[in-house]
Amino acid sequence: MLEWAEQIARHGCTPYPDWMERIDRLRKVSARMIHAQEAEIALVANTTAGINLVAEGFPWLQGDNVVTLADEFPTNQYAWINLADRGVETRRVPTEDGAVDLQRIADACDDRTRVLTVSWISFCSGWRNDLDRLAEIAHDRGALFFLDAIQGLGVFPLDVRKTPIDFLAADGHKWMLGPEGAGIFFARREHLDLLRPVGVGWNSVVDSRDFSRIELVFKDDVSRYEGGTQNTPGLLGLGASLGFLSQFGQEAISRRVIELTDLASRRLQQIGAVIRSHRAATNDPHKSGIVVFDLPGRDPEVIRQACLDQDVVLSCRGGRLRISPHAYNDESDIERLIEAIGT
């Protein structure tokens, strides 16, 4: 990203072809990461942009409905609730202290359910969902499955050829360790003409760089949804990050993240913390890189600030504390957390 800034300061847009070549490599790396076709990837500004490509582009009919979870990240609720004036109902299925009951989701779906949309990993509880079962539930009802993948992509392996996700969006600034404003959107190739393109611009059409030719013929791949000029430095940064992470492999990264969060959970319990994430069993499939906890009798905001004062970063979500160590953390970081909480 610094290289881009230096080049544009000195040379303006003359290095543009090189930047575009690197961004095309990002599209290839993103496709390999989820075992998709390159033609099924669009580069977008954030998860919200990807969600709205489906919410605003789907051919809704009055009486249709969308099923999601009541504790989803706000965007994965608002984008669908915003369809109410078109006669589309959003059904928000409650969770039990973060745990997802798949039967309740199935019961909420009917023959007018068009989209089931769920996060891979809950931002507020750390619960990792069973994607194969969710896709099965959606498809059994004749619906499509949308995955908000921001809290899992970059750590946990995903193969969209084996797990039949229809649409996916993820900003790069979480576990993919990229900058804000750069993310990916996946749409299965057979759905290409299902969504009406929104945000249409010069970059949506074939011969997109022939500005003298005005002919609305959309690209024959998912990049038709990219619209206009992109966040070039952000996408370059995301490409560099994914290239770096790919050296290690997602299986190795996910194993390390689970090891660290298991250790953190044990150490936190030893100092009196109550772990609210579901991590009981050794091979619990719902474990993720997020651990949510509280310390009875202590104010989480006060604890968070005391930790920040010691350069230990954690978040408050729903009145509870949340940590999300990545593979670059180590055991000494966990001990620093424990010491900071104890002060």
Instruction: Provide the pLDDT for residue 279.
Output: 83
Residues 100 and 85 in one domain: yes
Distance CA 287, CA 293 (A): 14
Do 46 and 171 share a domain, yes or no?
yes
Q: Are residues 93 and 50 in the same domain?
A: yes
Q: Where does residue 15 rank: exposed (0-12), middle (13-18), buried (19+ CB within 10 A)? A: middle
Pair 85, 165 in one domain: yes
Q: 166 and 122 in one domain?
A: yes
The confidence score (pLDDT) of residue 343 equals 76
In the listed set 245, 278, 294, which residue is the last one of a domain according to the structure? 245
Domain count, the chain: 2
Q: Region 257-283: what's the mean pLDDT?
A: 92
How does the average pLDDT of the chain come out, rounded? 96
Model confidence at 283: pLDDT above 90: no
Residues 155 and 278 grouped into a single domain: no
Confidence of residue 284 (pLDDT cuts 50, 70, 90): confident
Band (97; pLDDT cuts 50, 70, 90): confident
Residue 293 has pLDDT above 90, yes or no: yes
Same domain for 54 and 137, yes or no, is yes
**Cβ–Cβ under 8 Å, residues 157 and 136:** no
Per-residue model confidence (pLDDT) at position 302: 96
Domain boundary among 245, 272, 298: 245
Beta-bridged to residue 144, according to DSSP, are 115
Looking at the structure, tell me whether residues 190 and 264 fall in a common domain.
no
Phi, psi of 281 (to 5 degrees): -80, 150
With a cut of 80, say whether residue 134 has pLDDT above it. Answer: yes
| Tens-digit pLDDT profile for residues 228-258 | 999 999 999 999 999 999 999 999 999 999 9
Cα–Cα distance, 168 to 30 (Å, whole number): 12
Tokens of 338: 């424990």
**Listed residue (193, 154, 114) closest to 34, CA to CA:** 154
Domain that holds residue 182: 2-245
Average pLDDT of the segment spanning 174-203: 96
Last residue of a domain, one of 245, 270, 305: 245
Cβ atoms of residues 246 and 236 within 8 Å: no
CATH of the domain at 153: 3.40.640.10
Tell me: the pLDDT tens digits for 137-162? 999 999 999 999 999 999 999 999 99
Residues 226 and 276 both lie in one domain: no
- 189-200, pLDDT tens digit by residue? 999 999 999 999
pLDDT of residue 286 exceeding 90, the answer is yes
Give the CATH number, domain containing residue 287.
Answer: 3.90.1150.10
223 and 316 part of one domain: no
Within this chain, do residues 140 and 55 fall inside the same structural domain, yes or no? yes
Residue 291 and residue 145 share a domain: no
Residues 169-181: what's their mean pLDDT? 97
Q: What is the pLDDT of residues 6-24, one digit of tens each?
A: 999 999 999 999 999 999 9
